[in-house]
Homo-oligomer: A and B are copies of this chain.
């Protein structure tokens, strides 16, 4: 139960004027005598008046709130991207409501409903690992809710999207590895229902092909985006006894798993095997050896997603824009020079 706050009616009564006039004064409208306005504002200031945002929302039919759904909150990539989203939203005078799906499709559906129930004016979403269907996303589109997908996007779906150039990022990294003398580069990919996994994998293949290197499908394994899966997959990879001089992981978390297993097996990084990741999480420079990785502009990704969303909110007929941000290669100790 909210405490009873001062309302424009109270002010109106106290100053013996109408609430319409008070409203005009507060919202700095014309149609008002500068003197009465001053009188009202002084009174309001003195008594710490704040217009009730709920009543405003009801009347204006606008909640000034946007929603965000991410797979997991505590993954550094997402908490940093959320920063970018939120900072820009605040500049626009909007609040942000954040949900996490915990990588589960069912929860993601519930999140969507929760945000709809809260009457958000737009939604930014990065889909869960499990999300194969996307009826809940199409529903948003049907309802005409402004929508932006980022990072993990849905391929055959028309909507505003923010991604990085996964293909070229991966390709550049493989080229770099090749330039440092690696010839047998393994790849631990992400789930192939996620677009970015396939794009990065394609970059890997094409870089090898263009360099005239043989492709060995035996050293391309699939993991998800966790360190645990990186550990398991690396163990499987080593058991194959293939000749390997580098491992390119779909993301940093997986690369951390790779490093862990290689060190356990006393394999020297990068002398025997170079390791490269993708994202540049804060941890990347702390692990030993520090991780060479494809650096994503994480904060900007969130910020851009926010910008695209507000562009839609302000002009609902805007055609969906695909925004591809550039990556750079951050060379550290885990790859040979």
Contacts and interface: CB of A to CB of B under 8 A. Distances in A.
A256 B119 CA distance: 43
Contacts of A35: none
B3 A118 contact: no
A50 interface: yes
Nearest to A113: B50
Interface in A252-305: 256, 260, 282-283, 286-288
A325 interface: no
A62 interface: yes
A63 interface: yes
Interface stretch (A23-31, A79-87, A156-164, A209-217): A79-87
Nearest to A120: B2
A148 B13 CA distance: 37
A281 to B, nearest CB: 10
A119 B7 CA distance: 14
Contacts of A95: 97, 114, 118
Interface stretch (A53-61, A127-135, A184-192): A53-61
A14 interface: no
Contact of A1 (B54, B61, B256): B61
A119 B61 contact: no
A142 to B, nearest CB: 11
A55 B53 contact: no
Nearest to A2: B61
Contacts of A96: 97-98
B61 A58 contact: no
A302 to B, nearest CB: 11
Given A74-B80, A76-B74, A54 B50 contact: no
Contacts of A2: 61-63, 119, 121
Contact of A119 (B53, B97, B98, B117): B53
A83 B72 CA distance: 9
Contacts of A83: 73-74, 100
Contacts of A50: 116-117
A282 B282 CA distance: 12
Contact of A54 (B74, B119, B288): B119
21 contacts: A1-B61, A2-B61, A2-B119, A3-B143, A50-B117, A54-B63, A55-B58, A58-B58, A73-B86, A74-B76, A83-B100, A86-B100, A90-B114, A95-B97, A97-B97, A256-B286, A282-B283, A286-B286, A286-B287, A287-B287, A288-B288
Interface of A: 1-3, 50, 52-55, 57-58, 61-63, 73-74, 76, 79-80, 82-83, 86, 90, 95-98, 100, 114, 116-119, 121, 143-144, 256, 260, 282-283, 286-288
